[in-house]
Amino acid sequence: MRQLLAGIADDLQAYAQLYELLQQQFQAALRHKAAELAAAAEAISSLVDVMQQRRALRVALVQRLVGPSGNMLQAFALLKNAAREKMEADWKTLELAVLECKRLSKRNGDLLVEQYSIMQRVLHGEEQIYAPA
């Protein structure tokens, strides 16, 4: 249970870092700073790898605590009231952080795709300058 709770605390910190990295990535993309964009992408990738490992461990720990089809709420039910309430609140905070980082990641991806599309049109011209009659 301690490992499970520590992993959630670590992920709360990691998502705060991910949020900042996604903001840096966005700013680098807006300014067309390739080196900064590459550095942000590398940092994001490394952080997400660590977070994915923690998630896999969390799933294994929950299964060990409450069975193969167990979930976080069932694991939290094993805690006493005050500890359970804190962990449920931390879990909800973590879920919100995940959603926000997904939103930022999509925003960044959309910006990069749009920039790529514009660059392709600039370099190769429009496919159809005039609409067919």
Tokens of 31: 């300014």
Cβ pair 8, 44 in contact under 8 A: no
- Let me know if residue 129 belongs to a domain: no
Question: What does the alpha-carbon distance between residue 48 and residue 121 come to, in Å, rounded to a whole number?
Answer: 33
**What mean pLDDT do residues 101-128 have?**
87
CATH number at residue 37: 1.20.58.300
Q: For 47-70, what is the mean pLDDT?
A: 95
Q: Which helix (H) or strand (E) holds 98?
A: helix 81-124
Residue 133 is assigned to a structural domain of this protein = no
Distances (CA, A) of 130 to 109, 117, 133: 30, 19, 9
> What is the reported pLDDT for 127?
62
**Alpha carbon distances (Å) from 73 to 18, 76, 109:** 25, 5, 33
CA atoms within 13 A on the CB side of 7: 18
Q: What range does the domain containing 88 cover? A: 2-124
What is the pLDDT at residue 121? 77
132 in any annotated domain: no
Q: To which H or E segment does residue 124 belong?
A: helix 81-124
What does pTM read for this prediction?
Answer: 0.85
Please give the tally of structural domains in the chain. 1
| pLDDT tens digits, 20-40 | 999 999 999 999 999 999 999
- Position 131 confidence tier, pLDDT thresholds 50, 70, 90: low
In a domain, 72, yes or no: yes
Least confident of 22-31, 67-76, 95-104: 67-76
Residue 120 confidence (pLDDT):
80
On whether residue 91 sits in a domain, the answer given is yes
